[in-house]
Structure 1
Amino acid sequence: MGLARGRWRIGLTAGVLGSLLAGALAASPGAAGAGPDGPTDYTIDVDTARTGAKIDDTMYGVFYEDINRAADGGLYAELVQNRSFEYSTDDNTAYTSLTSWDVAGAARVLNDDGRLNARNRNYLSMDAGSTVTNSGYNTGIAVIRGRRYDFSVWARTDASARAPLTIGITDSTGDLATARRVTARGGWAKYEASFTATRTSANGRLSVRAGAPVALDMISLFPRDTYKGRENGLRKDLAQKIADLRPGFLRFPGGCLVNTGSHEAYDEQSGWQRKRSYQWKDTIGPVEQRATNSNFWGYNQSYGLGYYEYFQFAEDTGAMPLPVVPALVTGCGQNKATDDDALLKRHIQDTLDLIEFANGPVTSEWGRKRADMGHPKPFRLTHLEVGNEENLPEAFFARFKKFREAIEAAYPDVTVISNSGPDDSGSTFDTAWKLNREANVDMVDEHYYNSPRWFLENNGRYDSYDRGGPKVFLGEYASQGNRFSDSLSEAAFMTGLERNADIVKLASYAPLLANEDYVQWKPNMIWFDNDQSWGSANYETQKLFMRNVGDEVVPSTASGTPATTGPITGAVGLSTWATSAAYDDVKVTGEDGGTLLADDFSAGDAQWRKSTGRGSWTVRDGAYVQSDETAEDTLVTAGDPNWSNYDLEVKATKKAGKEGFLVAFGVQDTGNHYWWNLGGWNNTRSAVEKSTDGGKQTMAEDGTTIDTGRSYDLRVEVRGRQVTLYLDGKKWGSFTDDKPAEPFRQVVTRDKATGELIVKVVNARAAQARTEIGLGAGARVAPEARVTTLTADPAAENTEDERPVAPKTSLFKGVDDTFSYTFPAHSVTFLRIKTE
C-alpha cells in the first residue's frame, strides 16, 4: 500500500461517470453496423481461428495488508483485543497496557522476571476478588446463539497455591453463555474452557474473576467455527469471501508496513526491541511466544496471524503464496536507506531462511520448524518480492541486487520480483524501470491509485510495453472509490490487462479488507464489522473477472465511441495543503492579449470565492494569505468557468508548514479542476494533478521542492488541451490532456476445459450499447450463451444494509457466427459461448 495518492484516499463525490463523461457517455453514438434488430452502436469482431496471449492461472489474485484493522479485529478470528497486555504509549499515545480492559478490584500490569517469556513481557497480576473485562473490537465481542467459543489463558500462582478463575461472556442485558471455571496452580501453564452462546449479541464482553492471587497472560477467546476449522484460525465469513474470489495468488503481509518503521529500535528499560520493521521470524512458532509490534497504520498487531497462517491460507484457497520482504529502504513517505551492511546481510539471510521455511525438507533447520507447526509438506513457494514502493530507486536497486544474487544462487527456481515505486509515472517510476530493464529483472511490481477517468483513458497502457523486457505484476490498483462507477472503470481497464496477459502476469486490487470502525484508507474491496461482512461493488466486479479468466486471449477488435473533446475550460484558483502561503499579483490574460483578471489585492479579496470553506484567507501586507498550517485543500477561486486559452500568472511565497502551494486552472468546481502542486507530498516532489469528480490523476511531475520565505513566479499557459508551465521564467513541464475516456471496452478469452469463448464487455456509458458480434464466418457455436451481468446506478454502493450491486445470470438464445446483443447501460457482461 502506498502513500502517493494518500491525501485523496478518503473517497469521492457522487456521479463519477455522469459528470466525468457527460456527453460522450450520455449520447448514443451513431450506427457502426447493422444487425438483425436494426442499427447497432458498436461492433465486436472476434478472430476465433487465432490464439493470442496465454493467460496464467495466477493472473488475478489478492493483496493482503494489515491496514484498516484487517488482521486483529478482522481476518484473524481472535475476539480479545490486547490479549497479552503489550499495548504501549510508545506505539500509540492513546494506548496503555490495559487498553480494552476494565478492572474491578486490584489488578496491575507488570514487566519483570516473572513474565511468561522474553517476547511476551507484560502480564497481569490480580488480587483475590478482582475482575478484568475485555471489550474486544468495535462495539464489543460478537457471539451467535448456539455457536461454540473456546477460551484459553496462561496463568501462574505462587508455588502450589490454587487460584480459581471464573470466566463469563455478557452484554448489557445479561449473560451470553453459562460461566465456566478453571483452576490455576503452580508455574505458567495454559488453561482452557469452552462456551456455547445462549443468545446472539454484537456487544459482548469477556470477564475473568480471580478467586485468589494469580498472574495471567494471553487471555483469548476464539470462535470454534474458523475457516477450514483451523486452530488459531481465520474469521470464517471474511476468509470465505476471499476464497470465493478463487485467487491465483496471495501477496502478503503488506506494503507500507513491510518496509517502514525502525529496523532496530530497543526499549531501553527492557532491552527488547519495539517498533521493529516487519520481520517474518517474529510471526511464527507458538502464539504465546510471538511478539506484539506497532503497525505503520497506527495500531498494534499481535502477529497471531503470521507467516505460517498466511502460507496455510494460500494453500487452503488454492492461491500461490507471494511474500514481500523489506529491502531496508523505506517507502511510503519515509525516504531512508540503511548503511548497516551487517543488518543488510542478516535480512538477506532471513529471506533465504524464509524460502527454506516454505520449501525446505523437514531435515533442514527451518523446514523442521514448519513441520513442528503442523505442516511437514513444503508450501511450494515460487515467487518472492523484495521491497515495496521505495522512493529512492537507486538505493533500493543496489540492495535489491544483493537480495536477488543470494536468492538465485541458493534457489534458482524462485522468481524474485522488484518494484517501480508508488505511482504510475514520474521520475521514480522511470528510473526504477530503467534499472530493472538494464538488470534483466524477471518481474516488476507497479502500484497506482487513480481516478475513474484515468482507468478509462489507459486501457492501452500495456500495449506498448517491451515484450522482451521484465513482466509486470500489478500489485496494487484501485480507482479511488467503492461506487459502481469506480468498478466499471476498473473493469474497462482489466480488459486491457487481459489483452496484454503476455506482459501483465499478476494483478491484484488493493486494499482487500476494511473494518468500518477503523478506516485508514478508502476504497476497499471487502468491508466488515463485528458480525457481518459485505463485498463492495469492486469486489463483485473482481470476482466476475477472477472466476471467468480463461486460458488464452482470442484476438478481437471493437469499434469505439465518437469523441467529443473541446479545449480545457475553467476559472483559476489558489490553495494550500497543511501550509501557510501568500499569493500576489494574480493575472489572467486571454489569447488575444486582453486582461481577464488582475488582482494585486490592494482592494481586498472581493473577486475570490472561498470554494471549500477551509483555511483562513485574509489580505495581509498587500498579499492574499492563507495562514492555517493545519488546513487541507483550502481552494479559493476567481473568474469564469467558461474561460479557455489563457495565461495565468501569480507570485507565491511559502510562509510555513509541511508543503508548498497549489495553483489551480481549468476550475469547474471543487471536484473538477487541474492544479499545479508545488512542494507536495511533504515537500518531496511537485506535480500537476487533474481532479475529475474528486478523483485525482497525475499529468506531469518532477522533484521540485519549495523553500520557505522565497517568492516564486508561476506561469500557466493553457492552449486547447495543451498546458505549459513555467517556474521563475524557466519551463517546468507540459502535457496534453487528450486521451479519450472510452466507455466501451471488451476482451475475449477461451476456456479450454469447457470449450467456451468468454466475451467480456464493459459498457460504462449511460445508454445501452446495441452491438453486433462477429465470431467469423462459419464459426461453429452453440445457439445459447450463459450470461452474467452486473448493472446498477453509477452511484450505487454496497453497504451493510443494502447490496444493489450483485450479479445476475441468464441465458441468451440467438448466438450464431454473427449475432446482435444489447449491453445494458452501466454494465459489465460476461457471455460464455460454447464452441466445437
Structure 2
Amino acid sequence: MARRRLRLGVTVAALLAGTLAALPGHAAEPEPVDYTLEVDPTRTGARIDDSMYGVFYEDINRAADGGLYAELVQNRSFEYDPADHASYTPLSSWQTSGTADVVNDSGRLHERNRNYLKLGGGSSVTNSGYNTGFAVQKGKRYDFSLWARTDAGAAVTVSLGDAAGSLAEAGRISARGGWTKYKLSFTATRTSTTGRMTVATDRPAALDMISLFPRDTYKGRANGLRKDLAEKIAALDPGFLRFPGGCLVNTGSHEAYEESSGWQRKRSYQWKDTIGPVEQRPTNANFWGYNQSYGLGYYEYFLFAEDTGAMPLPVVPALVTGCGQNKATDDPALLRRHIQDTLDLIEFANGPVTSTWGAKRAAMGHPKPFGLTHIEVGNEENLPEEFFARFKEFRAAIEAKHPGITVISNSGPDDAGPTFDKAWQLNREAKVAMVDEHYYNSPQWFLENNNRYDSYDRNGPEVFLGEYASLGNTHYNALAEAAFMTSLERNADVVKLASYAPLLANKDAVQWRPDMIWFDNARSWGSANYEMQKLFMTNVGDEVVPSAASATPVLSGPIKGAVGLSTWATSAAYDDVQVTDAEGKTLLSDDFSAGDGQWTKAAGTGSWSVQDGAYVQSDESAENTLVTAGDASWQNYDLKVKATKKSGKEGFLVAFGVQDTGNYYWWNLGGWNNTQHAVEKAVGGAKQTLVQTPGSIETGRTYDLRVEVRGRQVSLYVDGEKWGGFTDDKVAEPFRQVVTRDKATGDLIVKVVNAQASAARTRLDLGAEPASGTAAVTTIAAAPTAENTEDARPVKPVKSKVDGIGRSFSYTFPAYSVTFLRIKG
C-alpha cells in the first residue's frame, strides 16, 4: 500500500452528469444502444490459473487488532508507548482504581514483553476494548486468560459489564507463585457493543497479557480470527493471500531486536517477531499510526491461507524504504541478515520437522509444511536502481537454496512514469519471473485502459497486479473495475495474479479509502467492489474463449473548459493571467489591478486575496484551493500565467479544460511534497495522471507558465521552454466483455459489463449450438452512486434463468450492470 496523497471528489455524480435520467424518478430513460458479441469456440485463448484472483491483506484501517484478529482487549500487555504515538501511555484503554503501576524491570514476563502491571490489594483495572467497547452476543462463550505473579497468593475477579449492568457472571481465579497463565470462560447473558472488562485483585499481584477471545473464531482456532470477517474473505474463494503489506513491510527500522539494548520501536515488519507463543511476541508501532500486537503473525497468516485454500504469498523487506521515505540502507551485514531471515522463512514454511525452522513450525502445531511457492521481495520502492541491486542478492540466495520458489519483484507505486519505466527495464534485463504492479486511479482510467496488457511482452516477466482500486466504493467504481477485470482475464497469459486493495477497514479508524470489506465491532459488510470481486473470483473459468464485441458510438471533440488556479499545502502568488484563442483574440486578461472579480471561488478553497498586484493564496494548510475564470465552452486556446511560490510544501496547480470542480485538467508543478511535476485529469472528482516527471519548484522564483490547448492535444511550457505535452484521445468504453470456459462442465461463461445509463441491446453469436436452451444468469445492477452500508445492500447479485439460448440470440444488458451468462457448452 502506497502512502500517497489521494485527491478525491465527494461524489460520482459529477462523473455521471447527463446520465442520471436513467435512474428511477427521472423523466426519461435513454434509448438502448445496439451491440454485437461474437464468440469463437473453435479457438482457445489464455489459460487462467486457479490462483489468478486473490486477496491482499495489510494491517491498515486497524484491520488486525480490533479487526480480523479476534482479541477483544486493547493494549493487553501494557506495551503502548508515547514513542509510538503521542497520545499513548502504557495504560491506554485501561482505567485504574486503587493502586496500579506499569513496571518495566527484570521481573517481566518475557524480554520481548517488557511492561507489566503491578496491582495493589483491593485495586482493579478496566479495559474499554476497541472503538465503542467489547461486542458480545447473548449465549456466546468467551475465553479469558491472563498471566499473573503473586508472592502471597491472590484472588483475582474478572467481570464483564456495560452501562446497563452485568454482561456475564463474574469469574474468580486463585493465583499463586511465579508467572503462570490462568484461564476462565464466560457466557454472555446479554448482547452489547459497549462492554467493559474489569480485573480486580484482593492482594498485590503482577498481571500481564490480559486477554478475552470469542470461543467461536473462524474454524474454531485458538488465538484465531473474527469469524464474520474471515468468512467474508473465504467466500471470495481467494487463489492467494498476499501478506502482511504494504507500507508496513518496507518502512521503519530494519534493525534486529537486541535483548541487551531493549526493543527498537517503529521497526519494519519482520516475520521472526511474529511467531512463537503470543506472550513472547512484541508490540510494534505500525506505519499507519497505531500499534500492532503481532498476535496475528506469520503462522496465523499461513494458517488462514490454508483454511481458505489460498496460496500463501508473503512479502519481505528489501532494505529500501518506500511510501514517502525513499532511502536505501547501506549495511552489508544487515542485508545479509535479512537475506538469511528470508531463507529461514522459506524453511519455516516448507522445511521438514527435522530442520531448525520447520521444527519451530511443528512446535506451534503444524508439522506438515505449508507449501510456499511464491515470495515477494520489497514493496513500491521509489529508488528502482537501489532496490534492484538488493533484490538481485535476495533472488540469488533464494534460488540457490530453494530453486522452486518464484521470487517476485515490483515496479514502484504507480502505473507509469520514470520510476515505473526504470523498474521494468531492470526487471526485463534481469529476466525476473514476476513483477508486482500497483495503481489507484479514477474510474475513467480503468475504462480507458482496458488494452493495457494487450501489448505486454509475452516472453518477458509475468505481471502480479498486487494492488488496484478505482478510488471509490460506489457501484460505478465497481463497474469500472469489472470492465478492467475483463482485460485481466483476456490477458491471463501475462497477468497471472491480481488483488483489489485494501481488503479491510474499521469504520471508526479509517486511514485509506476505498476498501473492500467494512466493519465495526459487531457487524461487517461488503462494499459494491466486494460484490463485484466475489462475482468474478467465484466464476473465473479455466481458459479464455476468443470473442469480440462492437464498440459504443463515441462523439469525440476538443478539450473544452475554463481555466483555474490552485495550491496544495502551499502559499503562492499568480499574476498576469491571459487567455487567447487560436487566432490571438483575447478571451481573458487579468493583472489583478482591479481586484479578483473575474474569479469564482468554491466554498472552503483557502484564503485568496489581491496583494501587491498579484492574486495570492496564503493558507499553507489548505488543500485544493481551486478558483476558476472563463467559460466552460472555451476550446483551442493559450493560457499564460506568472507564478511564484511564497512558502509551503509544494508548488503550483494551473488548471485548464475546467467544466466544474470535479471535472478538469491541471498542471501540477512541485506536487507530491515538491518532488514531482505532472498533469492530472479529474473526472467526477477522481484523478488520473497523464504525464509525470521528477522535479521541484523554488521558493521566491517567478515562473512564466504557458498551456496550449489544441483539440485534444496539450503542450506545456516553462519560461519559454517546452516542458512536455500529451494527447488525451483514449476512449472510456463502457461496454466490455470476456468469455471463459469451465473445462470441468464445458460451460461458457459470458461476462458483460455495461457501465452506462443506456441498456445494451446485444446480438450474441456463440459460434456453435449450446447444449441447452436455458442459461443461468447472475446480474449486479444498481444506481451508479449506490453504496453498500451496514444497514443497506443495494449492490448485490441477483440470480435468474433465461430461455431461448441458441447459437445466435439477443439479450439486453441493463444499464449500469454486470451480467454473467453461464451457458451449457
- Cα offsets for 1:597-638 (capped at 9, x unmatched): 111122221111112422111211221111111111111111
State the one-letter code of the partner of 1:109. Answer: V
Q: Pick from 764, 769, 790 the counterpart of residue 800 of structure 1.
A: 790
CA apart distance, 1:271: 2.8
Report if the CA contact (8 A) 2:15-2:683 is conserved.
no
CA–CA separation in structure 2 for the residues paired with 1:291 and 1:208 = 23
CA–CA separation in structure 2 for the residues paired with 1:613 and 1:86 = 41
Instruction: Tell me the equivalent position of 1:55.
Output: 48
CA–CA separation in structure 2 for the residues paired with 1:163 and 1:20 = 73
CA apart distance, 1:652: 1.1
CA apart distance, 1:265: 8.8
Match status 1:131 vs 2:130: no
Report if the CA contact (8 A) 2:541-2:740 is conserved.
yes
CA–CA separation in structure 2 for the residues paired with 1:147 and 1:507 = 38
CA–CA separation in structure 2 for the residues paired with 1:290 and 1:424 = 37
CA–CA separation in structure 2 for the residues paired with 1:231 and 1:340 = 40
CA apart distance, 1:27: 9.1
Report if the CA contact (8 A) 2:79-2:90 is conserved.
yes
TM-score (norm 1): 0.96
- Cα offsets for 1:649-708 (capped at 9, x unmatched): 111111111111111111111111111111111111111000111111001010011111
Match status 1:526 vs 2:517: yes
Instruction: Tell me the equivalent position of 1:677.
Output: 668
Q: Pick from 320, 323, 344 the counterpart of residue 329 of structure 1.
A: 320
Superposed counterparts of 1:220-231, under 5 Å: 220-231=211-222
Q: Pick from 10, 13, 27 the counterpart of residue 11 of structure 2.
A: 13
Match status 1:389 vs 2:387: no
CA–CA separation in structure 1 for the residues paired with 2:10 and 2:47 = 36
Report if the CA contact (8 A) 1:472-1:506 is conserved.
yes
Aligned CA distance change for structure 1 residues 574 and 171 (closer, same or farther; 3 Å): same
Report if the CA contact (8 A) 1:63-1:252 is conserved.
yes
Instruction: Tell me the equivalent position of 1:789.
Output: 779
CA–CA separation in structure 2 for the residues paired with 1:244 and 1:811 = 23
Aligned CA distance change for structure 1 residues 267 and 725 (closer, same or farther; 3 Å): farther
Instruction: Tell me the equivalent position of 1:488.
Output: 479
Instruction: Tell me the equivalent position of 1:34.
Output: none
Q: Pick from 714, 739, 750 the counterpart of residue 748 of structure 1.
A: 739
Superposed counterparts of 1:653-668, under 5 Å: 653-668=644-659
State the one-letter code of the partner of 2:803. Answer: K
State the one-letter code of the partner of 1:763. Answer: N
CA–CA separation in structure 2 for the residues paired with 1:657 and 1:20 = 39
CA–CA separation in structure 1 for the residues paired with 2:194 and 2:339 = 45
Report if the CA contact (8 A) 2:578-2:641 is conserved.
yes
Match status 1:462 vs 2:453: yes
Instruction: Tell me the equivalent position of 1:175.
Output: 166
CA–CA separation in structure 1 for the residues paired with 2:236 and 2:29 = 35
- Could you tell which deviates more after superposition, 198-207 or 260-269? 260-269
Structure 1 segments unaligned to the other structure (5+ residues): 32-40
Q: Pick from 564, 573, 577 the counterpart of residue 568 of structure 2.
A: 577
CA–CA separation in structure 1 for the residues paired with 2:14 and 2:789 = 18
CA apart distance, 1:266: 8.3
Report if the CA contact (8 A) 1:612-1:634 is conserved.
no
Report if the CA contact (8 A) 1:265-1:275 is conserved.
no
CA apart distance, 1:50: 1.0
Report if the CA contact (8 A) 1:294-1:301 is conserved.
yes
Report if the CA contact (8 A) 1:29-1:562 is conserved.
no
Instruction: Tell me the equivalent position of 1:108.
Output: 101
Match status 1:122 vs 2:124: no
Report if the CA contact (8 A) 2:22-2:758 is conserved.
no
Report if the CA contact (8 A) 2:474-2:785 is conserved.
yes
Match status 1:596 vs 2:595: no
Instruction: Tell me the equivalent position of 1:812.
Output: 802
The 3-state SS of whatever aligns with 2:447 is: helix
CA–CA separation in structure 2 for the residues paired with 1:732 and 1:22 = 39
Q: Pick from 354, 358, 362 the counterpart of residue 371 of structure 1.
A: 362
CA–CA separation in structure 2 for the residues paired with 1:394 and 1:738 = 33
- Cα offsets for 1:584-609 (capped at 9, x unmatched): 11111111101111111222211111
CA–CA separation in structure 2 for the residues paired with 1:137 and 1:727 = 52
The 3-state SS of whatever aligns with 1:187 is: strand
Report if the CA contact (8 A) 2:678-2:690 is conserved.
yes
Match status 1:94 vs 2:87: yes
The 3-state SS of whatever aligns with 1:366 is: helix
Aligned CA distance change for structure 1 residues 21 and 398 (closer, same or farther; 3 Å): farther
Instruction: Tell me the equivalent position of 1:737.
Output: 728
Aligned CA distance change for structure 1 residues 744 and 264 (closer, same or farther; 3 Å): same
- Cα offsets for 1:420-474 (capped at 9, x unmatched): 1101000100011111011111100000000001101111110111111111000
Q: Pick from 532, 546, 549 the counterpart of residue 541 of structure 1.
A: 532
CA apart distance, 1:15: 2.1
Aligned CA distance change for structure 1 residues 269 and 354 (closer, same or farther; 3 Å): closer
State the one-letter code of the partner of 2:805. Answer: V
Q: Pick from 150, 153, 165 the counterpart of residue 157 of structure 1.
A: 150
The 3-state SS of whatever aligns with 2:288 is: coil
Q: Pick from 396, 401, 405 the counterpart of residue 410 of structure 1.
A: 401
Q: Pick from 306, 309, 313 the counterpart of residue 318 of structure 1.
A: 309
CA apart distance, 1:779: 2.8
Match status 1:356 vs 2:347: yes
Superposed counterparts of 1:619-638, under 5 Å: 619-638=610-629
The 3-state SS of whatever aligns with 1:195 is: strand
Instruction: Tell me the equivalent position of 1:338.
Output: 329
State the one-letter code of the partner of 1:446. Answer: E
The 3-state SS of whatever aligns with 2:318 is: coil
Report if the CA contact (8 A) 2:470-2:481 is conserved.
yes
The 3-state SS of whatever aligns with 1:154 is: strand
CA–CA separation in structure 2 for the residues paired with 1:165 and 1:719 = 79
- Could you tell which deviates more after superposition, 683-692 or 515-524? 683-692
The 3-state SS of whatever aligns with 1:308 is: helix
- Could you tell which deviates more after superposition, 398-407 or 651-660? 651-660
**Identity %, equivalent residues:** 74
CA apart distance, 1:270: 5.9
The 3-state SS of whatever aligns with 1:514 is: strand
Q: How many residues align?
A: 821
CA–CA separation in structure 1 for the residues paired with 2:537 and 2:15 = 24
- Cα offsets for 1:378-400 (capped at 9, x unmatched): 00000000111101111111111
CA–CA separation in structure 1 for the residues paired with 2:84 and 2:715 = 46
Q: Pick from 268, 276, 280 the counterpart of residue 271 of structure 2.
A: 280
Superposed counterparts of 1:492-507, under 5 Å: 492-507=483-498
- Cα offsets for 1:703-750 (capped at 9, x unmatched): 011111211111111111111111122111111111111010000000
Instruction: Tell me the equivalent position of 1:36.
Output: none
CA apart distance, 1:14: 3.1
What is the root-mean-square deviation in Å for CA atoms of aligned residues? 1.7
- Cα offsets for 1:269-305 (capped at 9, x unmatched): 9632111111000000000000100011000000000
Instruction: Tell me the equivalent position of 2:37.
Output: 44
CA apart distance, 1:98: 0.8
State the one-letter code of the partner of 1:177. Answer: A
- Could you tell which deviates more after superposition, 556-565 or 261-270? 261-270
CA apart distance, 1:332: 0.9
CA apart distance, 1:131: 1.1
CA–CA separation in structure 2 for the residues paired with 1:482 and 1:551 = 29
The 3-state SS of whatever aligns with 1:489 is: helix
The 3-state SS of whatever aligns with 2:551 is: coil
Report if the CA contact (8 A) 1:12-1:480 is conserved.
no
Match status 1:446 vs 2:437: yes
